[in-house]
Structure 1
Amino acid sequence: MITVAELIREHEEESLENRAYGFWLYLMTDAIIFALLFATYVTMFSNTAQGPKPVDLFDLQHVFIETLCLLISSVTFGFAFLASVQKKLASSVGWLLITLVFGLSFVVLEVSEFLEMINEGAGPQKSGYLSAFFTLVATHGLHVSVGMVGIMMMTCQILFKGLTKPVCSRLFRLGLFWHFLDIVWIGIFSVVYLPVFI
């Protein structure tokens, strides 16, 4: 005979599975948004309206540092999740805070790149190309900023609630989101920045 405790546990596990499924659906819709932004960027690539061309705008070293910050943050998030699986609360929180520092570094570098371009007269209103560039890259930056808010909230949950099953499930979903942003950035780096210097 099934006890009440077993029924509650089954219901909780089913609820967590449904949330994971829903989150995968969300990630797919986000992937569609980024696919459309990539398509727009590629379409608008040659529409510079006699404005600055990509080769005149980008500093590969700056972009490389941005990329390193985001890739390292993905690794540190992985360490945070592994620590949570091993129920190491302090390690999990520590790795999340390190992830936050690298994520913040990425956003600061990206904003400084935007401000420098705007100061040089290469703002989003200058050409179709620059509108597409700013929309694609800024949408990614906005997602990273939302992810950092999620990391701060997750850190608080771990500290106050501990590494319970629901908290670890939320950490797993946040990790999916964070790693997804890394994949999108590799696409941005490969499509937007790298071809300029090849």
Structure 2
Amino acid sequence: MARRPRIASVSAEYRLNLKHANLFRANLMDADLTDANLFRANLTDAGLMNADLSGVDLSGANLTGAYLTGANLYGAVLFGANLTKAKLTDADLTDADLRVADLTNADLTNADLKNANLMNANLTGADLKGADLTGAKLSVANLTNVRLLDANLTGANLMGANLTGAKLMRANLMGAYLDDADLMGANLSTARGLT
């Protein structure tokens, strides 16, 4: 089995420091960037398919249009990151910090967002079809016109979230917290767990 190119050291003492780096359209497919510091880096249109970005600090980074299909972002910090139109299909964002991140029109189809923190995030027009948001924190998030078909929102916190025009057909909302959420024009037909 071929080994992944190793770009970063697992040790925090020697972790790769790419703060403010310009990685515009960089090809980092299958790269191991575990625990790297990419604070405010420019990764616009970068190719990060199947890359290991677990534990990475991407706070304030620009990932507009980045290709993150199948990427491992377990526990990554994406606080305030710009992920507009990013492709995150099948990405693992378990326990990721996406507070105040901009995910406008991002593709998160079948993404794993278990226990992710998306408080105050902007997900306007994002596609989360089949995504697993079990236990995710989405309070006060903007989910206007988001597609959550077949998504798992078991135990998710959506208090105060804006779900105007959201499509939640066949979504699992068992134990989800929807206090003060705005569901005007949302489609909840065939959604499960609404009692």
For the pair shown, the structure with the greater C-alpha radius of gyration is: 1
* TM over 0.5, shorter chain: no
Under a length normalisation based on structure 1, what TM-score does the superposition of the two structures give? Answer: 0.18
Q: Identify the structure with bigger relative contact order (alpha carbons < 8 Å, sequence gap 6+).
A: 1
Under a length normalisation based on structure 2, what TM-score does the superposition of the two structures give? Answer: 0.19
